[in-house]
Copies of this chain bind each other. A is one copy, B any other.
Amino acid sequence: MSQVRVGLLGIGTVGSGVWRVLQRNADEIARRAGRPIEIVAVADRNVERAQEIVGREAIERGVVVTAEAAAVVARPDVEIVVELIGGTSAAKALVKAAIAAGKHVVTANKALLAEHGGEIFAAAQERGVMVGFEAAVAGGIPIIKALREGLAANRIEWVAGIINGTTNYILTQMQMRGIPFAEALREAQALGYAEADPTLDVEGIDAAHKATLLASLAFGVPIQFERAYVEGISAVEARDIAYADALGYRVKLLAVARRRADGFELRVHPTLIPKEHLLANVNGAMNAVVVKGDAVGQTLYYGAGAGSEPTASAVIADLVEVARLMNATPSQRVPHLAFQPGELVTLPVLPIGACRTSFYLRLQVADEVGVLAQLARVLADEGVSIAAVIQKEDGVAEKGIAELVLLTHESEERRVRSAIARIEQQVWVRGRWAALRVEHLQ
């Protein structure tokens, strides 16, 4: 069969990985796909660097290198457009132009899909083209394929994942070496694990983009990033990680999508996870996603969530799939959001106050008889029961002050918040709070 012709937009970290792996494994990939996959045109703002990566030999063989992404999209010989330029403005216009021209698209752009996925998938559906986005969530881990196809028998109950490598690297360093967030962040930046402006990663936005897509695939609901609850790791203190350790937990930036009777939870926040769970043992920049299905139980998917070739692995898997199904009818393809386009349901995203978790609470109190009893009473009044308590006098600077660490049983978040508000008014409260959610993943 004839070759499949691809136009590559962006040949930076991921794009150069796609180029390299497609060259290196060309034979192996063609043996699988049944036909060669060839990049015929590359667009990048930095044409000189792009030419260097593509190489003289390929350019002489006819591969076009240009600064004009729109020109690559418009080329009549390009059948699939791979969008790896990132961002949500230029990328959106290019992806929509490709779809309008009847071309299939493969993208790693989670921000684009989390914010404009509904519109993009609708356009693709109407035009009869595929939009592959395996690389948009958890890099090289084929989690989208698992959710859309591998677990198609299941009613998915929840998905929980460590899906941002930067924050997992930082939290792992904080945990293993007891260093504060700011120091771990600086190191991560020096090592290239965090960007100069780390906001998207550190504040949980990148993880929320991905969680939004996972929730949509899991429950058959429209993409609604704007409703996600997002809390980053910049406020996590090393001592909370140490207390969590003493209680049998690790602290991870966890993305959770959980189905409830009246809607679903969609939230990203630092979370205590029991040490025995495999997810608690996912360290460094690695990613992992756990899916709980009603038939299969828990399955876990682990691997590199970012990086040049791991992400390229997912991009190329999509290219192989598009190559196989580009001439199939739409009903022979897997629906973009796992469920048939007419079959999405409007299950609402629950506000964070209606979400249910256990809580880890740390506060400083006057070291007096009866304080713990009063604290427990306020929590009990709100229907929040205590699962464990640690009381510490050492490590607190001032005399006469004790540090209390509590684990609660699961309850509605609004009840915990209401209890916290009431406790803050007590005369025996000193210093600042920490409140972290706990997931037992059972």
Residues of chain A touching chain B, judged by Cβ–Cβ distance below 8 Å, are 1, 17, 21-22, 24-25, 28-29, 31-34, 134, 140-142, 145-146, 149-155, 220, 278, 281-282, 288, 293-304, 309-310, 312-317, 320-321, 324-325, 327-328, 331-335, 338-340, 343
Contacts and interface: CB of A to CB of B under 8 A. Distances in A.
Contact of A294 (B25, B301, B320, B338): B25
A25 B145 contact: no
A298 B303 contact: yes
Contacts of A327: 332
Identical chains in the assembly: 2
7 cross-chain pairs, A with B, having the tightest CB-CB distances, nearest first: A142-B150, A153-B316, A299-B303, A140-B296, A296-B313, A300-B302, A31-B343
A142 B151 contact: yes
23 contacts: A17-B295, A21-B154, A21-B295, A24-B155, A28-B154, A31-B339, A32-B343, A140-B293, A140-B299, A142-B145, A142-B299, A149-B320, A149-B321, A152-B317, A153-B314, A153-B315, A278-B302, A288-B300, A298-B303, A300-B300, A325-B332, A327-B332, A328-B332
Contacts of A312: 153, 295
Contacts of A134: 150
Given A32-B340, A146-B146, A153 B295 contact: no
Max chain B C-beta neighbours (<10 A), residue from A141, A152, A153: A153
A6 B264 CA distance: 34
A142 B146 CA distance: 6
A10 to B, nearest CB: 18
Max chain B C-beta neighbours (<10 A), residue from A24, A295, A301: A295
A207 to B, nearest CB: 19
A149 B153 contact: no
Contacts of A150: 134, 142, 145-146, 314, 317
A132 to B, nearest CB: 11
A104 B134 CA distance: 28
Max chain B C-beta neighbours (<10 A), residue from A29, A296, A320: A296
B149 A146 contact: no
Contacts of A141: 299
Contacts of A153: 21-22, 25, 29, 312-317, 320
Given A317-B150, A332-B328, A303 B297 contact: yes
Contacts of A294: 21, 24-25, 309
Nearest to A34: B340
A299 B301 contact: yes
A296 B324 contact: no
A343 B309 CA distance: 25
Nearest to A301: B301
A423 to B, nearest CB: 38
Contacts of A25: 153-155, 294-295
Contacts of A328: 328, 332
A152 B320 contact: yes
B335 A32 contact: yes
A205 to B, nearest CB: 25
Given A145-B146, A299-B301, 9 more contacts: A21-B294, A21-B295, A142-B150, A152-B316, A153-B316, A153-B317, A297-B303, A299-B302, A328-B332
Contacts of A220: 28, 31-32
Contacts of A332: 324-325, 327-328, 332
Contacts of A140: 293, 295-297, 299
A287 to B, nearest CB: 10
Nearest to A316: B153
Given A142-B146, A281-B278, A152 B33 contact: yes
